[in-house]
Amino acid sequence: MSVRFNTRKLTILAQDPAVRINGNLVFAQVEIPYEDLGDGPTGYRVKVVDFDGSANVLYRPFKVGGEVDGMPVDGFAVPDGLSAPQRRAWEKRLLADPTFHSQNVYAIVMRILTCFELALGRRVEWGFQGHQLHVAPHAFLEANAYYSEDDKALLFGYFDSRRAKGRVFTCLSHDIVAHETTHAVLDGIRDGFTSPSTPDQAAFHEGFADVVALLSVFSLRETVELALTDGGKVDLLPGGLRKVLKERVSREAILASFLLGIGKEFGSSLDEEGARADCLRRSVRIEPSAHLLDSPGYEEAHARGELFAAAVLRTFVAMWSRRIDGLGTFDGKHCNLDMVVEEGARAAGHLLTMVIRALDYCPPVDLTFGAYLSALLTADTEVAPDDTQYMYRSLLRETFASFGILPAPQGTDPESGCWQPFDHTSDIVYHRNHSDSMLHDKEEVFRFLWENRRTLRIDDRGYLRVCSVRPSVRQGPDGFFVRETICEYRQVAQMFGAETMSQLGIERPEGMSTRQAYTAYGGGTLVFDEYGRIKYHIEHRLDDGARQSARLEYLWRNGLHDQLSDSTSNFSELHRNRITS
């Protein structure tokens, strides 16, 4: 009897085509959930359609390979035993094959989606009505790639680079595909984060997408090994262990490797064309300073997002370095290469899971980096209360603080930086609700909110609605599961400029007319434990004058006060600027 596999291995380009190690492109085989794939590929979450809007043509779709002994065949796996010229020729054929491009985007999108589902312990919805995200690997002839909620799609462009003297396909850039996918997934988890708000909120979408794109590479062990050894011959220690020079795995060397440092990657081909190139990786080169957040140069979404990414990535490098130090050395000069790579994968995997889980503990509107940090610390404390072994949380706090990011000033425990647990002495009425429905039914949760609005101090002046009710199941290091229900509610308050003082308690900005229409938001996240009791009430209140004032001031100054939420145009413009600027 043949073995049935529940995963499928597919080859992707793990680094951009401009990165070559020993003359070879960096491929990796990734494992994603098995599904009955249709042409495209088309699966239950992703539908790749290779339509080129500039040429108005449809390209040959990817067709799924057969199976050998119950194992799906990866038609683009790197063949064994190729000579250098043969490998070059094979790579050239692969890069010129649109069906490989389709496989590449499908596999990367599914892999990122799987990371989220694994971390959150549930299926993750897209941010639009529908189950399948369209992916167009060659959507148009333009140096742009973006997620479009309205089109239910990731659209990747291609263009002719003057410096690279050739055609550049954004769908072949692992970082770009992973980054755009993260936007789509994040929009499904928290759709309010695409609304015009504080500078932190727009920046978070960008910085978070960078973080996921970069950290997800570190679980590709062959790629990490290539980065640490530059593809050179690996010497063996007595006993057959493979070794690597200690200096090659120092903190500085990791920061400078092509995984995080200034690489020869895709983006750099645009450098001399007036472009801001290796944008994802630039963040790690930002020297920590608590003043950067307040400097005008870091108010723009991408720049500010880089500060967020810098804080997370520097935390990762510190985590990995600590683990490497714990491994010890052979003869004081060498480390065990396999263990170093393994520890990198573990540290990255752990941090990636942490940063994703934190999303459930974020307030649903007007996110700030500080609120996210509190969510991150709280989510990790829930699953792993004991932080004494690797001290990840203290490392996170230190690194974030070095970039001026401190836990939220309100609603948190000053010592741990975590959200304050809900006060169970309050008179919450549970008995009017059906506990089973409270696990999934928005109407039931709304009734709960309405009945308890006074106790929960929920302002009911604006339009109040429950946006989501989601289960969350997470496994801690002790093997036990933490089961929770995450509910988001949001309030929308529309007013005129003349009413900002009476409604929000804030002055309207200079130059704002009394008749100017303005919309303010409030909202909260309720985390219920497995018994249906409130564990946390994480709120960004409608009447929080300081937050509302900062938001209005920022939106007014940047002409965004009357802009509706439109993720299509937002990401399209942001990313065109990023890729080509």
Partner 1 sequence: MANAPISATIFAYQVGFGDCFLLRFDYPKRRRHVLIDFGTTGLPKEVASTHLLTIAKDIREKCGGKLDAVVATHRHADHISGFATKKDGSGSGDVIRELLPDAVVQPWTEDLDLAIAARAPAQNGKQAFHAALHNMHEISAHVVRLLNSKPKLLPAKTAAQLRFIGEDNLSNASAVNNLASMGKARHYVYHGSKSGLEKILPGVKTHVLGPPTLEQSEAISRQKSRDAQEYWHFHLKNVTATPSTTGSSEPAFANDVVARGSKLPMTARWIANRIKQARGEQLLSLVRALDKQMNNTSVILLFETRTKKLLFPGDAQIENWQYALSKPKIQKLLADVDVYKVGHHGSLNATPRSMWDGFQKKGKAKAENRMTSVLSTMEGKHGNEAARTEVPRATLIRELQTHTHFHSTHMLPSQTLYQEIHIPF
Interface stretch with partner 1, choices 43-51, 278-286, 345-353, 480-488 (CB under 8 A): 43-51
CA-to-CA dists, residue 504 to 197, 497, 518, 549, angstroms:
16, 11, 11, 8
Which residue, 150 or 252, has its beta carbon nearer to partner 1?
150
Q: Is 138 in the site for partner 1 (CB under 8 A)?
A: yes
Q: Is 42 in the site for partner 1 (CB under 8 A)?
A: yes
Per residue, the 3-state secondary structure of 64-78, as one string, reads: CCCEECCEECCCCCC
Per CB under 8 A, contacts with partner 1 among 82-111 are 96-99
C-beta separation of 497 from 508 below 8 A: yes
Single out the residue of 149, 25, 136 nearest to residue 78, CA to CA: 25
Query: Least distance (Å) from partner 1 to the CB of residue 42?
Result: 8
Cis preceding-peptide flag for 414 (omega within 30 of 0): no
Interface stretch with partner 1, choices 228-236, 325-333, 474-482, 566-574 (CB under 8 A): 566-574
Q: Of 59, 330, 390, 446, which one interacts with partner 1 (CB under 8 A)?
A: 59
Q: Distance between CA 543 and CA 518 in Å, rounded?
A: 15
Q: Is 442 in the site for partner 1 (CB under 8 A)?
A: no
Q: Cα dihedral sign for 91, 95, 98, 102? A: positive
Q: Distance between CA 362 and CA 208 in Å, rounded?
A: 13
Q: Distance between CA 205 and CA 42 in Å, rounded?
A: 27
Which residue, 25 or 279, has its beta carbon nearer to partner 1?
279
Q: Of 85, 238, 239, 296, which one interacts with partner 1 (CB under 8 A)?
A: 296
Q: Is 563 in the site for partner 1 (CB under 8 A)?
A: no
C-beta separation of 305 from 280 below 8 A: no
A 10 A CB-CB count for 259 gives: 25
C-beta separation of 210 from 285 below 8 A: no
Per CB under 8 A, contacts with partner 1 among 318-357 are none
Residue where the block lists tokens 């490797």: 257
Which residue, 58 or 290, has its beta carbon nearer to partner 1?
58
C-beta separation of 406 from 318 below 8 A: no
Q: Of 22, 93, 160, 271, which one interacts with partner 1 (CB under 8 A)?
A: 160
Q: Of 289, 426, 435, 558, which one interacts with partner 1 (CB under 8 A)?
A: 558
Q: Of 4, 20, 23, 55, which one interacts with partner 1 (CB under 8 A)?
A: 55
Query: Least distance (Å) from partner 1 to the CB of residue 37?
Result: 14
Which residue, 141 or 401, has its beta carbon nearer to partner 1?
141
Q: Of 274, 332, 414, 479, which one interacts with partner 1 (CB under 8 A)?
A: 274
Which residue, 50 or 225, has its beta carbon nearer to partner 1?
50
Which residue, 29 or 132, has its beta carbon nearer to partner 1?
132
Query: Least distance (Å) from partner 1 to the CB of residue 268?
Result: 14
A 10 A CB-CB count for 271 gives: 12
Query: Least distance (Å) from partner 1 to the CB of residue 581?
Result: 3
Q: Distance between CA 38 and CA 162 in Å, rounded?
A: 37
What is the token pair recorded at 581? 């600027």
Q: Is 143 in the site for partner 1 (CB under 8 A)?
A: yes
Query: Least distance (Å) from partner 1 to the CB of residue 130?
Result: 11
Q: Is 170 in the site for partner 1 (CB under 8 A)?
A: no
CA-to-CA dists, residue 473 to 374, 534, 554, angstroms:
20, 16, 37
Q: Is 430 in the site for partner 1 (CB under 8 A)?
A: no
Beta bridge partners of 490: 465, 523
Backbone angles phi, psi at 67, to 5 degrees: -130, 145
> Where on the phi/psi map is residue 63: left (φ > 0), alpha (ψ -120 to 50), or beta?
beta
Which residue, 202 or 466, has its beta carbon nearer to partner 1?
202
Residue where the block lists tokens 């509302």: 548
What is the token pair recorded at 294? 């307040």
Query: For the chain, first and last CA: distance in Å?
Result: 57
Query: Least distance (Å) from partner 1 to the CB of residue 48?
Result: 10
Interface stretch with partner 1, choices 42-50, 107-115, 204-212, 432-440 (CB under 8 A): 42-50
Which residue, 138 or 393, has its beta carbon nearer to partner 1?
138
C-beta separation of 377 from 405 below 8 A: no
Q: How many residues bind partner 1 (CB under 8 A)?
A: 68
What is the token pair recorded at 159? 């263009």
Q: Distance between CA 32 and CA 400 in Å, rounded?
A: 33
Draw the binding track, 298-317, toward partner 1 (x: CB under 8 A; -: no contact): xxx--x--------------
Which residue, 142 or 360, has its beta carbon nearer to partner 1?
142
The DSSP 8-state label assigned to residue 565 in this structure reads: P
Q: Of 35, 91, 142, 343, which one interacts with partner 1 (CB under 8 A)?
A: 142
Query: Least distance (Å) from partner 1 to the CB of residue 316?
Result: 25
C-beta separation of 378 from 418 below 8 A: yes
Residue ranges that bind partner 1, judged by CB under 8 A = 40, 42, 47, 49, 51-61, 96-99, 134, 136, 138-144, 148, 150-153, 155, 157-160, 167, 169, 270, 273-276, 296-300, 303, 510-513, 515-516, 557-559, 568-569, 572-573, 576-577, 580-581
